[in-house]
Amino acid sequence: MIVHTFQQGLLSTNCYVLQHQNTCVVVDVAFVSQELENFILQNNLQLQAVLLTHGHFDHCGGVEHLLQTVGKADVFVHVEDVELCKTAQQNPWGVPCQNCFPTKTYGQGRLCVGSFEFEVLHTPGHTHGSVVLLCQDKMFAGDTLFCGSIGRTDFAESNKTAMKNSLQKIKQIQGDYTVFCGHGPATLLSIEKETNVFLCH
Ligand SMILES: [Zn+2]
Ligand SMILES: [Zn+2]
């Protein structure tokens, strides 16, 4: 599996195209991005699914345009963030984007789409429906865990106590993972466990 990173929009959201042979899964689509869409079209990749790490507008605001451009696929989100997706246009910053309409919600544990296999961890805190997705030795952490930091917990849809519990859950994950974050650079789980003040004590 190859991970291609696309940085989108004013908030520099990271969107990821996970490629396996001629198929792909997209993790988060911030805004309409010709770069991302052209990449899929020009490489003739068959889109298997869009997986959302959470329902914030800067992670789902370009999903519908992507589906119109490259073809229909299921859009997964945690059930508790469906409403956020559907009302993305009402984001408090008035950032122009599209509402997003998920077609599936995550169950507990394993998720198979095409030849991709994910482990879905519900990690509420930043939003009630935030998830962390594990695939092989890669972790897609959304806005739950950043390189040296964590996501904001001061939104109406946030919960500080839940975030603490979710970070404990992440801390207990065995083995090492490359962590692909919703914003900022990628990192290693082992490094975050040692140096991230929110994880290392
Ligand atoms: Zn967010
Ligand atoms: Zn974000």
Q: Which domains does the chain have, with CATH numbers?
A: 2-195 (3.60.15.10)
16 Cα: distance to centroid of ligand 1 (angstroms): 15
Residues 31-67 have pLDDT tens digits of: 888 999 999 999 999 999 999 999 999 999 999 999 9
Ion ligand 2: residue ranges with CB closer than 5 A: 58, 143, 182
CB-count exposure of residue 28 (10 Å: 0-12, 13-18, 19+): buried
Please compute the mean of the pLDDT values over residues 64-79 and round it to a whole number. Answer: 97
96 Cα: distance to centroid of ligand 1 (angstroms): 16
56 Cα: distance to centroid of ligand 2 (angstroms): 7
User: Which pLDDT score is estimated for 115?
Assistant: 94
Closest CA to 32 of 15, 49, 47, 54: 15
Q: What is the pTM of this model?
A: 0.97
Region for residue 94 given its phi and psi (left: phi exceeds 0; alpha: psi -120 to 50; beta: otherwise): left
Give the separation between CA 155 and CA 148, rounded to whole angstroms. 20
Q: Is the model more confident about 151 or about 10?
A: 151
